[in-house]
Amino acid sequence: MPRTSSSTVSRQWLMGGAALVAALGVGFAAAKFSTPKAPSTAEAKPATAHGADTMTMGPERLAASGVLVQPVSTSGLAAEIVAQASVEAEPGGQAVLTARAPGSISRILKRLGDPVRAGETIALVQSREAAQIAAARGVASAKADLARKVLARERSLYEQKVSPRQDLEQAQAELASAEAEARSASSAVTAADVSRDGRYVMVVSPINGRITAMAASLGAFVQPETELFRIADPAKIQIAAAVTAADANRVRPGDQAVIEANTGETRSAVVRSVTPGVSVETRSATVVLALTGGAGVLQPGQLVRARITSRQSATSGIVVPEEAVQVVEGRDAVFVRTPKGFRVQPVTVGQRSAGRVQIVEGLKGGESIATRNAFLLKAELGKSAEEE
């Protein structure tokens, strides 16, 4: 058998190695095209609530959550005057009821908290003076009727030239005097609210409202100046805020204000008037605010906080409650109300003072944001991200 040369053997080894490399390359290429492509990190990451920065929440769910939505206030912190205030009844929204004549309370027709209408009788006081006033009206009315008859007779006799003109003129004077007495007696009956039968003095409410205080007891003898009931109309209220003398000089009628109740609910108001001086006892001036909307939860006697925006200040900006600003993904942000829910809006925060924050950038006037319990929206956002 012939011996193979060394060059021939080397050439065969080289050809075999090249064939092996080619086979491995073909196999790798086939494996590359046949194996499914693994998703990248960016593609595998789902679109979380943080990524979308929105969340859906309808009105019913919003009301159940306790999250309060308020419009942003366009003013600087220096323009805001924060003052403690109290809810008071308007001058025409409260009435103190007393008996118009002394006597004993025989009937009580209403109880504490009951609604009453203007002109409605609340209690009856049996009074001797009421009987005298009613009797005086009856006597005066009878005198006036008699004077009218006498005048008619004298006029007839005068026309027949039977009696002199002097008798006619005297009859006319007597009628005028009798009618004056009748009007006076009738006015006394009206002023005392005497009942038709003349036995009672009626305690009548002059306004619509509810009974907020009651000191009447059945059978008790009362004097005309004794307070028996107090009526207040919840719809006719005003806010009295106590401010310092320096702040009072900055406030003008027509300045806008926001009233904050202890429940977190707010009401819009406007400055009606400012007292020209300060009180000797409190060393503060009183700013009277009128609500521009409904009273809501506000009731007379309730303590509230007033935030008055002075137009005299040169500073301006967006001011929101401090609790409205939440840290979302390491940034300050607020939850802006949208037609379907909320949108996370990053903001740049400026000064902080008295629970208020000035927003330098990120918000604009007219937007509404979540204020009270805004942290619940942040928690809901984080929960949605974890579920994704």
Output the domain CATH number for residue 268: 2.40.30.170
**Same domain for 123 and 146:** yes
Closest CA to 172 of 258, 163, 188, 19: 163
CB atoms closer than 10 angstroms to residue 79: 21
Domain membership of residue 7 (yes or no) is no
pLDDT at 387: 62
Q: What is the CATH number of the domain that holds 149?
A: 2.40.50.100
The domain tally of the chain equals: 3
| Residue 116 belongs to domain spanning | 95-232
Element housing 152 (H / E): helix 128-159
Q: Are residues 132 and 220 in the same domain?
A: yes
**What are residue 12's DSSP bridge partners?**
none
Q: Give the whole-angstrom CA distance, residue 304 versus residue 388.
A: 43
Tell me the pLDDT tens digit for each residue of 291-318.
987 777 788 888 999 988 887 654 556 8
**Residues 210 and 112 placed together within one structural domain of the fold:** yes
CATH number of the domain residue 337 falls in: 2.40.420.20
In a domain, 23, yes or no: no
Would residue 71 count as lying in a domain?
Answer: yes
Q: Is residue 3 part of a domain?
A: no
| 103 lies in the same domain as 222 | yes
**Are 205 and 168 within one domain?**
yes
Question: Would 29 be classed as within a structural domain?
Answer: no
Report the pLDDT value the prediction gives residue 24, as an integer from 0 to 100: 40
* 117 part of a folded domain: yes
Q: Sign of the CA dihedral 148, 154, 155, 160?
A: positive
Residue 44, pLDDT score = 35
Strand-pairing partners, residue 82, are: 307
Is residue 70 domain-shared with residue 117, that is, in the same domain? no
Whether residue 16 lies inside any domain: the answer is no
- Position 9 in a domain: no
pLDDT tens digits along 245-265: 888 888 989 998 888 888 778
Q: Taking the CA atoms of the chain, what radius of gyration do you get in angstroms?
A: 43
Task: Kindly state whether residues 107 and 199 are assigned to the same domain.
Answer: yes
Give the integer Cα–Cα distance in Å for 150 and 172: 9
125 and 171 inside one domain: yes
Shared-domain flag, residues 238 and 330? no
**Do 220 and 107 reside in the same domain of the chain?**
yes
Residue 76, pLDDT score:
58
Domain stops at, among 175, 204, 232: 232
pLDDT of residue 312: 66
Q: Are 239 and 290 part of one and the same domain? A: yes
Boundary of a domain, candidates 280, 309, 338: 309
Report the pLDDT value the prediction gives residue 87, as an integer from 0 to 100.
92
Which residues of the chain, if any, have pLDDT below 50? 1-10, 12-14, 16-51, 314
Pair (144, 160) in one structural domain: yes
